[in-house]
Chain A
Amino acid sequence: MTKNWWKILATVLVLFSIIAGFLFHVPEKPILNETIRNIHFHVPMWFSMIVTLTVSFVYSIRYLRSSSENDDLMAIESANVGIIFGVLGLITGAVWAKFTWGEAWSNDPKQNSAAIALLVYLAYLVLRNALEEEQKRGRISAVYNIFAFPIMVVLLFILPRMTDSLHPGNGGNPGFNTKDMAPELRPVFYPAVLGWILISVWITTLRYRIRKLENQINEEN
């Protein structure tokens, strides 16, 4: 149990954020209205994606240094989970945009950047499939992963800030920093972010362990 406390914490936090996110009082804003509750679901997806993709980046560096198969497995599995969370972030964002901006896809720089960042990681998966030999696959895909990561950072954090954007936090719009966010939202928002990040890490470790077991079975046969 001592090792599992964070999994329990993750479950409690996410359950709390779902219940509190739908039931607690939220500030009434024009245009946003009740859709403001989506902030507890949409934003944590992106936080989780950034965290898992960073984990993938770190394990790719570790793989280049160690050439151990486990590091490669961790890099690919965290990238997989990061892609899933990115897709979820795009979907929750599109639903939100449909209500507030009028269109699910409104050519917003942040939306476009996020979609391109996902393309970069889908290309990483394609590259992995194109390489047969395990050692070579691990090394070359690690190189691409490390090469792509700074580009993704530029895409998500620098480019949207340079142009006008409907998205909060860009183009002079308020974001979710300490000053802009309504105080009533914070007690739910911060636990939601932490909970989803922990959940994403949990899924990654589960997938990693499944892959490791599969490899062991394959070796025995």
Chain B
Amino acid sequence: MDLLSQIKFLIRKEIMLEWRSKYAFNGILLYVVSTVFVCYLAFREISSPPTWNALFWIIMLFASVNAITKSFIQESRGRQLYYYTITSPQAIIISKIIYNILLMLLLSVIALGFYTLVFKNPLGDPAFYLLSVLLGSISFASVFTMISGIASKASNGGALMAILSFPVIIPLLVVLIKLSKNAMDGLDRSVSYDEIGVLLAINVIVVTTSLLLFPYLWRD
């Protein structure tokens, strides 16, 4: 099988596994909804737009760490060995990244919907805010997939995941918060092109290094 069909097959497998159990997605959905609700009970209302924006990204950050940590840990060693014999490592990491991007896109849209429902706040440019959220979920997925692969190799993967991923995600988060703040304030879209460019560039770097490094991580 060539790389493309391998990737397609692996993504289908991931989605099918998830569809059968619906465990990961429902769990993460519940996590997001209850976190937003806890924040609602704690804050009641948020009057300042920067706080509203920051809180949303913090919720998304923790939700995505939780969602993606599982992507390597949940699979048994035996099954990983089986993939190793039949597919190339590149196909595995690309399929995981794409699957996590799909998962995060779905999750972030639901989270944004629920968040705006609970905390009312006027968005200056809702379509552009949605774009920044989608870009954010793609970035989270591409960074965290590789880090979860690294963390899964250590014995206490869950704790390590947060330590390894937070410093790496902060630069992306800073750009994302700025981009979404621009969208909230309804600034002219051309103001934010720089941020979008940097986000895309970082994503390209992250995916490329993941592709180059994953074969070494895999070899066990």
A residues sitting closer than 8 Å to B (CB atoms) are 64, 113, 116-117, 119-120, 123, 126-127, 130-132, 136, 139-140, 142-144, 146-148, 150-151, 154-155, 158-159, 162-163
Please report whether the interface of chain A is mostly helix, strand, loop or mixed according to DSSP: helix
- 5 residue pairs from A and B, CB less than 8 Å apart: A119-B166, A120-B168, A127-B163, A140-B150, A147-B146
Whether a CB of chain A sits under 8 angstroms from the CB of B205 is yes
- Chain B contacts for A158, CB-based, 8 A: 198
* CB <8 Å contact, B150 and A154: no
Give the CA-CA distance A151 to B156 in the complex, in Å.
24
Whether a CB of chain A sits under 8 angstroms from the CB of B175 is yes
Please report whether the interface of chain B is mostly helix, strand, loop or mixed according to DSSP: helix
* CB <8 Å contact, B164 and A127: yes
Give the CA-CA distance A37 to B12 in the complex, in Å.
62
CB-CB under 8 A for A127 and B168, given A140-B217, A158-B198: no
CB-CB under 8 A for A147 and B209, given A116-B170, A123-B164, A127-B160: yes
* CB <8 Å contact, B194 and A130: no
Give the CA-CA distance A155 to B175 in the complex, in Å.
11
* CB <8 Å contact, A116 and B171: yes
Smallest Cβ-Cβ distance to B151: which chain A residue? A127
Give the CA-CA distance A148 to B150 in the complex, in Å.
12
* CB <8 Å contact, A144 and B216: no
| Shortest Cβ distance from residue B61 to the other chain A in the assembled complex, whole angstroms | 14
Q: Contacts A116-B170, A123-B167, A162-B194 known; list 15 others, CB within 8 Å.
A: A64-B213, A119-B170, A126-B163, A127-B150, A130-B155, A139-B216, A139-B219, A142-B216, A143-B213, A144-B164, A147-B168, A147-B213, A151-B206, A155-B170, A163-B178
B residues sitting closer than 8 Å to A (CB atoms) are 146-147, 150, 153-156, 160, 163-164, 166-168, 170-171, 174-175, 178, 194-195, 198, 202, 205-206, 209-210, 213, 216-217, 219-220
- Chain B contacts for A151, CB-based, 8 A: 168, 171, 202, 206
| Residue from B155, B198, B210 within 8 A of A147 (CB atoms) | B210
* CB <8 Å contact, B163 and A150: no
* CB <8 Å contact, B174 and A127: no
- Chain B contacts for A144, CB-based, 8 A: 150, 164
| Residue from B178, B198, B206, B217 within 8 A of A143 (CB atoms) | B217
| Shortest Cβ distance from residue A130 to the other chain B in the assembled complex, whole angstroms | 4
- Chain A contacts for B205, CB-based, 8 A: 150, 154
- Chain A contacts for B155, CB-based, 8 A: 130, 132
- Chain A contacts for B170, CB-based, 8 A: 116, 119, 155
